[in-house]
Amino acid sequence: MTEFTQEDWLEFEAMVEANGPSTISSSTNDIMFRGSDEKITLEYVRAPFEDSIIFAELLEKDPEQFKDAGFHTILPIAKSLEMHIRLLALGSEKERFENPDFHLSRCLKMMQKMRKDEIGTSENFEGFNKSVPFSGEHLTNFMLQDPKQCSRMIKKAFMIYGQGNPYRHNQVKSWTEIKSEYKEIRKAFKQFSKIFGELVG
């Protein structure tokens, strides 16, 4: 993938839309975020990726231990990817990081447009139900970095999330079936992490 087309963005947005916002709500006064009370750090957002490595090691020893191998190895990498972008866009303050209206594809698309100078610097991006403010403490530094590197990071994010998504919804595959795919997405995530670290400073 060299440049994102409008069709690419629409497909990505539809994928994120299918997952819905990160809330379980029975009323406007009863919202629960699927998160935890830990401080939001780089180590925190990397945790699902680190766990996927442990699951992969277990499956190497016993390929039949988990029938839904992608759920335990590939999907956590996609989750870690989204958490990295939350940290970049929303910041490390827990309440902001856990914003239930965060929309991954719209956030990335807005950052891409800002870095390519297609639009001016925006204070917000469109969320699931309402506008979400850019409030990440690392975002200013990110916006000053090489636009080509920023685009590379966004492309890696696009690819990783796309590969992980089927294991959230409708695919159950054995370790034997997904082992090579896991190695590919793990390699891509390491590349993403390296670029992310360089860009956020």
pLDDT at 120: 63
Task: Name the average pLDDT for the chain.
Answer: 85
- CA dihedral 69→54→80→101, nearest 10 degrees, is 70
Cβ pair 73, 59 in contact under 8 A: yes
User: 8 in the Ramachandran plot: left (φ > 0), alpha (ψ -120 to 50) or beta?
Assistant: alpha
30 three-class SS: strand
CA distance 193 to 10: 25
For residue 49, which of 94, 82, 3, 4 has the smallest C-alpha distance? 82
pTM here is: 0.83
Would you say residue 112 has pLDDT above 90? no
Percent of the chain with pLDDT over 70: 80
Per-position b or e across 5-32, b if 16+ CB within 10 A of its CB: eeebbeebbebbeebebbbeeeeeeeee
Would you say residue 142 has pLDDT above 50? yes
Would you say residue 33 has pLDDT above 50? no
pLDDT at 84: 97
- Over residues 153-180, the pLDDT tens digits come to 999 999 999 888 888 888 899 999 999 9
- Residue 30: pLDDT band with limits 50, 70, 90: very low
Check residues 153 and 121 and name the one with the higher pLDDT: 153
- ∠ CA 196-103-185, nearest 5°, is 45
- Over residues 80-98, the pLDDT tens digits come to 999 999 999 999 999 999 9
pLDDT at 32: 40
Would you say residue 9 has pLDDT above 70? no
